[in-house]
Amino acid sequence: MRRQSCSPCLVSSWKQGLFIVGFSLVFLFTILSPSLVVSTQTATASGVAIDNWWPIDGSSLGATETFKAVVPGRTLASYKLYWQVDNGALNLMSSSLQKPVHKKATVVLSGWKWQSTGAYAITFVAKDTAGVLLGRKTITVHVNVPATGGSSSTSSATGGGSSASSTSSAAPSINVWWPTDGAVLSGVQPFKVQLPNVAPADYRATWSVDGGQENTMADSQQDGPHKESLVDLTSWVWRGSGPYALTFRVYDSAGVLLDHRTLSISTGGTVGSSSTSSASSVTSVPSGGNPLSGISLFVQPDSPAKSQADAWRASRPADARQLDKIATHARSQWLGAWNANVGSDVSTTMSAAAAQGAVPTFVVYNIPQRDCGGYSAGGASSSDAYRAWIRSIASAIGSGRAIVILEPDAVALVSCLSAADRQTRMQLLQDAVSTFKAHAGVKLYLDAGHAGWVAPAEMATSLQQAGIAQADGFALNVSNFDTDTTSFQYGNQISSLLSGKHFVVDVSRNGLGPDGSQWCNPSGRALGRVPTVSTGTALVDAYLWIKAPGESDGTCNGGPSAGTFWAEYALGLAQRAAW
């Protein structure tokens, strides 16, 4: 049920378009708003060039804005970029890998104490990693936000950059979708919150219980853009049924608290061993933590989706922008017999990822008797050939960092093999796990099929035979369409039989869930959530695009051969995505 993906086969126009849009908005606001005065002061700059995409000089700003800028010719990791108002506090901007890569900050102006509509001086300040000033650029802007009524008419925005507060009546209001105040919860629950009119990528959300540890929530586009955590309440230690104070907080990209909301919940779960035990010690991450925490996922610069989007840029610009949804996010690189020199190919990717300051994901897919003769039949010619091939990959990774998804289908499809061949397969998988885990930078996940395939107890037993004890965890839903909730529930059942092993989930095409039992190029599907290692869920280390969106499952439902990029199918996935 899995198919291999083949190996990897706006900047200036984008910025020009942004400038034109910004200029047009200023022109329209000038006509429509008599209170707006656009400054004629020109931007001033010193030192290295700073290209501010937004705001531009003379622009008028609303309640919430995303500041975007870049130092051309420098990698994001080589410098820090800040913004400030009227020589006030410096506010650090975060790195964005959305193409073209840049620095950004979500700025909530409605919490500032403004003198008037302006003018205000916005300065972008660039420093190297040692804190040495590289250059600065100052522009003049006005604001279209009502004054908050400071204690003095001379109150200024100079302190506003880092002090926007949720206590201001004009601050953005967090919207809690679930749970509701007074809800009684049990089992696995999806905590969901939203900051209206702000993209999930532009703010951070957390939840905590009774003032305990804050747990980061992941971006989700299902049913609309929001933040979400799948929370398993059965593992919590309660002092009773409650009630408990559940607090959600949202922060901007600089870490400034924008808003918070506390509601009361009760639980139908079991009582802890002590009547004084409290939910304040509850955490969504077990003691082992997430081994992928803090990493950046590698975005391949030369993917088929990127090539197709570029080819459509002039003739089909709207479709090109849709394919950019795929091209600008991290996907896995599948390795198999199609790699003429797998070691060289892995080395090339490792170098590209290192230049990005990111970690690549490799899908190892070459087990002998692969796919039981199905659409993706093939694999190494012998056990010895497979062991040598695995060692070539591991050697190419070397001391670097990489995520490895080991052999989709290999465990779930052992039923098609003879008893002797099953034993050989498990031995080969054990050897592969040991080989990769001899490299400290490798985080390895054994494929464990999907929720509708093998019963949890049977899968747990097979994973033990395949060497899961030495692996970091297992992978679910590879090349499939199960919803996140379905995969989480299945993974949680397996994990409970494997001493709490973590797992990763393929979310490349599950935005609308499955189409019945169709698994081979089903129509009407959509991209799932954006890849991330910040899942906010106890046992889930990452939501990944393991299957490369747009690559065919095989010659079924009008598709090309397995692993071939199918541009129109990819376009449909992107168009139907919730984001």
Tell how far CA 175 is from the center of its chain.
21
Q: Is residue 22 part of a domain?
A: no
Contact at 8 Å (CB) between 136 and 126? yes
The closest of 147, 176, 178 to 160, measured between CA atoms, is 147
Bridge partners for 473 per DSSP:
445, 502
Last residue of a domain, one of 281, 313, 333: 281
Cis peptide before 352 (omega within 30 of 0): no
297 and 520 in contact (C-beta within 8 Å)?
no
Other CB atoms within 10 A of residue 240 CB: 15
- Spell 81-108 as b/e; 16+ CB within 10 A means b: bbbbbbebebbbbbbbbebeebbbbbbb
Q: Give the number of other Cβ atoms within 10 Å of residue 153's Cβ.
A: 9
Tokens coding 420 = 């002797």
503 and 478 in a single domain? The answer is yes
Question: Is 21 inside any structural domain?
Answer: no
Residues 354 and 266 in one domain: no
CB distance 150 to 72 below 8 Å: no
347 and 431 together in one domain: yes
The CA distance from 205 to 195, in Å, is: 9
Judged by DSSP in three states, 417 sits in coil
**184 and 139, same domain (yes or no):** no
Nearest Cα to 494, choosing from 453, 435, 534?
A: 453
User: Which among 325, 346, 548 has a CA at the least distance from the CA of 439?
Assistant: 346
- Please check whether residue 19 lies inside any domain of the structure: no
The predicted structure's pLDDT at residue 172? 54
Domain match, 498 and 545 both:
yes
Which pTM does this prediction carry? 0.56
Long-range contacts: 219-222, Cβ < 8 Å, 24+? 219/529, 219/530, 219/532, 220/192, 220/484, 220/529, 221/511, 221/528, 221/529, 221/530, 221/577, 221/578, 221/579, 222/483, 222/484, 222/511, 222/528, 222/529, 222/578
Are residue 192 and residue 255 in the same domain, yes or no?
Answer: yes
List, in sequence order, the alpha helices (H) in 178-330.
304-312, 317-327
Query: Shortest CA distance to 98 belongs to which of 575, 507, 531?
Result: 531
Cα–Cα nearest to 416, from 460, 368, 487, 484? 368
pLDDT tens digits, the chain, 579 residues: what are they?
Answer: 444 333 333 233 443 444 444 444 434 444 333 333 333 334 667 788 998 888 888 887 877 788 989 998 888 888 899 988 887 778 888 887 766 778 888 887 765 655 566 788 899 999 988 778 898 999 988 887 654 443 332 233 433 333 333 333 334 578 898 898 888 887 778 889 988 878 888 888 888 887 666 778 888 877 778 888 877 676 555 556 778 888 898 888 777 778 888 888 887 743 332 222 233 333 333 335 789 988 999 999 999 999 999 999 999 999 999 999 999 999 999 999 999 999 999 999 999 999 999 999 999 999 999 877 666 778 999 999 999 999 999 999 999 999 999 999 999 999 889 999 999 999 999 999 999 999 999 999 999 999 999 999 999 999 999 999 999 999 999 999 999 999 999 999 999 999 899 999 999 999 999 988 888 999 999 999 999 998 878 799 999 999 999 999 888 999 999 889 999 999 999 999 988
Q: 304-308: long-range contacts (C-beta < 8 A, 24 or more apart)?
A: 304/6, 304/8, 304/9, 304/548, 304/550, 304/551, 304/565, 305/548, 305/549, 305/550, 305/565, 305/570, 307/9, 308/565, 308/567, 308/570
Say whether both 194 and 94 belong to one domain. Answer: no
CATH number of the domain at 361, please.
Answer: 3.20.20.40
Q: Are residues 180 and 234 in the same domain?
A: yes
pLDDT for 548:
95
Structural domain count of the chain: 3
Q: Which of residues 281, 313, 340 is at a domain's end? A: 281
The H or E element spanning position 389 is helix 383-397
Strand, coil or helix: 253:
coil
Distance of CA 369 to the CA centre of its chain: 34
Tell me the CA distances in angstroms from 529 to 119, 184, 220, 225, one per residue in order: 40, 28, 5, 10
Q: Which of 91, 44, 37 is nearest to 60 (CA)?
A: 37
- Decide if 226 is inside a domain: yes
Question: Which DSSP letter does residue 578 get?
Answer: -
Q: CATH code at 274?
A: 2.60.40.10
Q: Is residue 28 part of a domain?
A: no
Is residue 317 domain-resident? Answer: yes
Closest CA to 309 of 514, 1, 5, 11: 11
DSSP string, 122-162: EEEEEEETT--EEEEEEEEEEE-S-----SSTT--GGGHHH
Sequence-distant (6+) residues with CB within 8 A of 152 are none
Exposure string (b/e) for 65-75, b if CB count within 10 Å is 16 or more? bbbbbbbeeee
Give the 3-state secondary structure of residue 11: helix
Strand, coil or helix: what is 336?
Answer: coil
pLDDT at 4: 39
Tell me which residue of 206, 277, 219 sits closest to 246, measured CA to CA.
Answer: 206
Report yes or no on 402 lying in a domain. yes
Residue where the block lists tokens 């081994």: 291
Domain end marker among 106, 135, 163: 163
**Cβ 215 vs Cβ 207: under 8 Å:** yes
Cα–Cα distance, 577 to 440 (Å, whole number) = 36
- In whole angstroms, what is the distance from residue 332 CA to residue 507 CA? 12
Q: Are residues 517 and 394 part of one domain?
A: yes
Asked whether residue 191 falls in the same domain as residue 106, the answer is no
Residue with token string 């088929």: 304
DSSP codes joined into one string, 473-540: EEEE-TT----HHHHHHHHHHHHHTTTT-EEEEE-SSBTT--BTTB-SS-TT-B--SPPBS---SSSE
157 and 180 both lie in a single domain: no
Give me the active site residues, please.
371, 409, 553
Is 159 a domain residue?
Answer: yes
Of residues 189, 205, 193, 177, the one with CA closest to residue 267? 189
DSSP state of 198: S
Rounded CA-CA distance 181/184 in Å is 9
Same domain, 374 and 428: yes
Cross-sheet strand order for the sheet of 184-185? 184-185, 257-267, 244-251, 204-209, 215-216
The residue range of the domain holding 405 is 304-575
CA–CA gap between residue 491 and residue 468 (Å, rounded): 14
Q: What is the token pair recorded at 166?
A: 């949720």
